[in-house]
Structure 1
Amino acid sequence: MKTVLCYGDSLTWGFNPEGGRHSLEDRWPSVVQAALGSSVQVIAEGLNGRTTAFDEYVAGADRNGARILPTVVMTHTPIDLIIFLLGTNDMKPWIHGNPVAAKQGMQRLIEIVRSHDYGWPPPQILIVAPPVAGHTENAEYRAMFAGAEASSKHLAPLFAALAAETGCGFFDAAAVATTTPLDGIHLDAKNTRKIGEALAPVVRAMLETKETSRG
């Protein structure tokens, strides 16, 4: 059985902007699982507010993705593919609000995956750029993500360049999904499913490529 780890933030956790959490079947990792079938195990590791590699102290959980990643990876090893869907929370102005820093944070995650002592070959990596932040009349989210409408548009090209430089896969979630105007950041159930539907063939192809290379 192949193992795929989905490492992300609230978009992976399934945050529902209307309240609560999306149903399990609507979350994008579950959609990928359903499409790939029982020969693949898809593990969802989403945490609300998670950044690529930066601290934030307003929550009870450690949101620094780089600090937690080694523990998560060792928990689920061996892993064939890791999908990173992060970067939105890096756009908060008190984190840094700079897409270049988000690219550097993503690069650090790649370095962690490829340098860690697993006892198995390192997994493949698929970088997914999050949907672009949209306009909202929600005053709290507008303040939380001030400037993100402009800055988040640069994440996809920066992540695509990083993927090319490092030999990772890349997918731009903005090609299939848009954020809800309820908060400008999160997704409704339909758009969450769209990400999973679009990623499923990409994941399948990457797993098949790895199997061919082993042979």
Structure 2
Amino acid sequence: MQTSITRKRIVCFGDSNTWGFNASNGERFPEEIRWTSELDRLLGEEYQIVEEGLSGRTAVMDDPLFEGLNGSTYIHPCLMSHSPLELVIIMLGTNDTKERFSLTSFNIAQGITRLALKAKQTLSGPNGQNPRVLVITPPPIGKEYVQTDVGKSMGKGCDDKSSHLESHLEELLAATDIDFLPTKGKVPMNNIDFMHLDEEGHKLLAKLVFNKIQSIL
């Protein structure tokens, strides 16, 4: 008789870099390349990774141009639908830098912190408890992005905002019981639009997240 394994579930809640956007062709990276799938492989049979990536997703902002991108309005039903959860991983902030939102880098960090606390307060953890939450700072946007096709949509100053996001997030999250993982200088963006991960970036991020999970779970 085969014994069933109860796998510990982890939700990865993010934007196009969690969805797996491939800037070289505008399509989605194959499953075996995405950092979420690589993380699933590294963690082994004990864990199950749930991909919850959406291109354009923000932490707390409603986008006037596109529907359904505000992470704050979706995270509660999302986490409850996948419960029970061992861990919630949040990696957002890149889209929040868009000029049309008029947010400072500190404002963006405030929004992500608010979102993380909302996730923490759900009863989506084991036995209806609060789940553990890990916030990852997305790698900074390269300054060259403004000269690419995405520059027109993103607007000005996105690289500067994203480069300062990590320090603000670290400061704000230090006063909470939410785990934090910086990526600046450890995981680069691609050399196409300078705001998405390439294949190597996905591998590096997966390994970084794996090591962090090993230390907190």
Whether these two folds match at TM > 0.5 is yes
1:183 aligns with 2:193: yes
- The SS at the match of 1:90 is helix
Matching residue within 39, 56, 74 for 2:80: 74
Q: 2:39 aligns with which of 13, 17, 32?
A: 32
| Whole-angstrom distance in 2 between the partners of 1:108 and 1:63 | 16
Q: State the match for 1:172 in structure 2.
A: 182
Between stretches 81-90 and 143-152, larger displacement belongs to: 143-152
Instruction: Give the alignment partner of residue 145 of structure 2, picking from 111, 136, 148.
Output: 136
The answer on whether the counterparts of 2:146 and 2:155 sit within 8 Å (CA) in structure 1 is: no
Q: Which runs of 5+ in 2 are unaligned?
A: 1-6
**Structure 1: tracts of 5 or more residues without a match:** 208-215
Partner of 2:167: 157
TM value normalised by structure 2: 0.89
Distance 2:216 2:189 in 1: 27
Checking the alignment, whether the CA contact within 8 Å between 1:137 and 1:182 is kept in structure 2 is no
- Amino acid of the residue matched to residue 156 of structure 2? A
Q: 2:28 aligns with which of 8, 16, 21?
A: 21
**Closer, same or farther in 2 for the Cα pair 1:4/1:101, shift >3 Å?**
same
Q: Give the Å deviation of 1:193.
A: 1.6
- Taking structure 1 as the reference length, the TM-score comes to 0.90
| Superposed CA offset, 1:59-109 (max 9, x none) | 3x4000000101101110111111110000000011234211111211221
Deviation of the 1:175 alpha carbon: 3.2
- Aligned residues of 2:76 and 2:122 also touching (Cα < 8 A): yes
2:205 to 179, 195, 212: 195
Whether contact under 8 Å (2:90, 2:135) holds in the other structure is yes
Q: Whole-Å Cα distance in 2 between the matches of residues 66 and 122 of structure 1?
A: 17
Structure 2 vs 1, CA of residues 140 and 125 (structure 1 numbering), >3 Å: closer, same or farther?
same
**Of 14, 17, 38, which residue of structure 2 is paired with 1:11?**
17
Deviations 1:123-150 (A, max 9, x none): 1111100101102364432231421121
- Total equivalences in the alignment: 206
- The aligned counterpart of 1:83 is 89
Counterpart of 1:123, as a letter, is: P
Alignment of 1:37-116 (within 5 A): 37-59=44-66, 61-116=67-122
SS at match of 2:100: coil
Aligned residue identity for 2:214: R
% same residue: 30
> Could you tell me how far apart the structure 2 residues matched to 1:18 and 1:94 are?
26
Q: Does residue 121 in structure 1 map to residue 129 in structure 2?
A: yes
Please tell me whether the aligned partners of residues 113 and 169 of structure 2 are also in contact (alpha carbons under 8 angstroms).
Answer: no
Matched residue SS, 1:107? helix
Corresponding letter in the other structure for 1:206: I
CA contact 2:80–2:122 (8 Å) conserved in 1 = no
